[in-house]
Amino acid sequence: MTPTMPPTANSGTAFASFLAAQRPLIESYLRDHGPTAAEGPEQGELSRYLYDPLARFTAEGGKRVRPVLCMLGAAAVGGDPRTALPVADAIETFQSAALIHDDIADKSELRRGQPCVHVTEGVGVAINVGDLALVNVESQLLRTGDYPASVRLRLLEEILAMEERTLEGQALDLGWARDARWDVGVEDYLFMASHKTAYYSAATPLAAGAICGGGNEAQVEGLRTFGMQTGLAFQLQDDLLNLVGDAAKQGKDFRSDITEGKRTLMVVWALEHLDGAARGELLAILQAETTDQAHLARAVDLMDASGALEHARTYAHGLTAEAKSRLAGVDLDLAARETLLSMADFFVERKG
């Protein structure tokens, strides 16, 4: 059922503070536990062509939201956030793999303000670097001595399920583009975005962190549900920012979703609700792969006229409100609960 609850006031400060406090721990752990070439005659070449490009990409960072959510999940069930660092590292490593491969599929040029790995290293090397990251997701969990075998096995099951769901979402996203599918509906989009983004952006990080912190089944599943809804809201806000966010901050990425013909909620809603010439005009812009600023602006105007932008905002805030209400029935650490509620607001009120 479509959430219809009204937007809530921004109270994302607590999560922003938690993110800032935990990020140095994440950065340090990533530096110390990244894969490196074994000593031997080809160590230098392997470092050059494989390990160093991944290390550079990882060091360029991002906000580190996903690994910090692992730590928050552990704290929410009364555990030490640091117990979640190995699985936090694994999920961030999966993020690196996904982004390296996504940039190749999308023919992107920039990532985090820097040239994409396939731009600097070539497509073949970049694919291999992304594959190394994927292998390292599971290997670092298998090799860590921080968890008993039973916990390692459960975490591996969580991570593998997350990877599979993400690949399913990516398959739909890429397949619709390849086959020029413009008959995609709102429910189709929500299924795709939930799989492609919500599992690995919030649901699995929170659930895996809770497992590390010793949470019970009700806590783990409550946090997973909360993460599915807030993770989808996160994606909707990302899509909105690509259209109506800060153009200067996004640079070449601003309105790139239109250039790439992305099937976002705003696009599929607009195509369902616009009639005749207006629908045809929007579809022509989406199919043209244009970078012309006037054409991109016109596409945004058409989506806005259809009510798509407002629908996406309302839906994202409705998801957030529903996620908060469901969290009320889960037994969690009080301070961590407040940070989780703040996280939900942070996801839909952020400007970048």
**Model pLDDT for residues 261-294, shown as the tens digit of each residue:** 999 999 999 999 999 999 999 999 999 999 999 9
- Are 347 and 68 in contact by the 8 Å Cβ rule? The answer is no
297-308 mean pLDDT: 98
Q: Where does the pLDDT of residue 17 fall: very low under 50, low under 70, confident under 90, or very high at 90 and above?
A: very high
- SS3 assignment, position 115: strand
CA distances from 287 to 169, 177, 189, 259, 280 (A): 21, 10, 18, 8, 10
User: What local confidence, expressed as pLDDT, does residue 314 receive?
Assistant: 98
152-161 mean pLDDT: 97
What is the 8-class DSSP label of residue 328? T
User: What local confidence, expressed as pLDDT, does residue 1 receive?
Assistant: 34
User: What local confidence, expressed as pLDDT, does residue 315 receive?
Assistant: 98
User: What local confidence, expressed as pLDDT, does residue 3 receive?
Assistant: 39
Q: CA–CA separation, 272 vs 264, rounded Å?
A: 12
**Between these two residues, 114 and 68, which has the higher pLDDT value?**
68
163-174 mean pLDDT: 96
- Taking the CB of residue 147, how many other CB atoms lie within 10 A of it? 17
Q: In this model, does residue 60 exceed pLDDT 90?
A: no
Q: In this model, does residue 299 exceed pLDDT 90?
A: yes
Q: Where does the pLDDT of residue 9 fall: very low under 50, low under 70, confident under 90, or very high at 90 and above?
A: very low
Q: In this model, does residue 113 exceed pLDDT 90?
A: no
Half-sphere exposure of 152 (CA within 13 A, CB side): 14
Q: In this model, does residue 243 exceed pLDDT 50?
A: yes
20: phi then psi, degrees, rounded to nearest 5: -65, -35
User: What local confidence, expressed as pLDDT, does residue 6 receive?
Assistant: 35
For 54-113, the DSSP string reads HHHHHHH----HHHHHHHHHHHHTT--GGGGHHHHHHHHHHHHHHHHHHHHHHT--EETT
78: phi then psi, degrees, rounded to nearest 5: 90, 10
**Model pLDDT for residues 315-339, shown as the tens digit of each residue:** 999 999 999 999 999 999 999 999 9
pTM to 2 decimals? 0.93
- Are 302 and 270 in contact by the 8 Å Cβ rule? The answer is yes
Residues 6+ apart with CB under 8 A from 177: 260, 261, 262, 263
**Model pLDDT for residues 70-99, shown as the tens digit of each residue:** 999 999 999 999 999 999 999 999 999 999
Question: For residue 228, which amino acid is it?
Answer: M
Q: Where does the pLDDT of residue 253 fall: very low under 50, low under 70, confident under 90, or very high at 90 and above?
A: confident
Pull the structure tokens for residue 93. Answer: 């490593």
Name the average pLDDT for the chain: 94
